[in-house]
Amino acid sequence: MYIIYLFIYLFNLFIAVSSSRTVGDTEDELKNMGGHIQSSHKLIYLFIYLFVYLFIVVSSSRTVGDTEDELKNMGGHIQSSHKLLTKYGRREWTDRLLILLALAFFFASVLYIVKKRLFPASDDDSAV
């Protein structure tokens, strides 16, 4: 937008310089034009700076987007791991309970056998 204004100003200045009749007017117009050219250089540098800044912002936002996708993916893995660990925790508890029941049954069987061997009953068929 500013470039269009600059071109319009330079065109009007060219017309004014070409139609001016005195050398002093021409010199003043050239001095003004020099000031505007310096400001246009500053404007160009500003546009370049803004373009670079915009490029940096776009690339960093892309990086943030990629990081967000990666974190969502890792969150899914963490959630799946949590479910599996909970499941294995329940299985571990169930396994311990089954082992305790098996040990109780084993010791009950051993005690039954020891009792029968050490204290035989009087009405056993062994007396016959």
Over residues 39-96, the pLDDT tens digits come to 677 777 777 878 888 888 888 888 888 888 899 899 988 999 989 888 888 888 899 9
Within a domain: residue 40? yes
Quick one: what percent of the chain has pLDDT higher than 90? Answer: 22
Structure tokens at 6: 């600059």
Question: 53 lies in a domain?
Answer: yes
127, part of any domain: no
- Boundaries of domain holding 20: 2-119
Q: Which residues contact 90 (CB under 8 A, 6 or more apart)?
A: none
pTM of the model: 0.37
- Separation between Cα atoms, residue 34 and residue 28, nearest integer Å: 10
Average pLDDT of the chain? 77
124 domain residue, yes or no: no
Per-residue pLDDT, 128: 45
What is the reported pLDDT for 102? Answer: 97
Half-sphere exposure (CA, 13 Å, Cβ side) for 116? 9
Tally of domains within the chain: 1
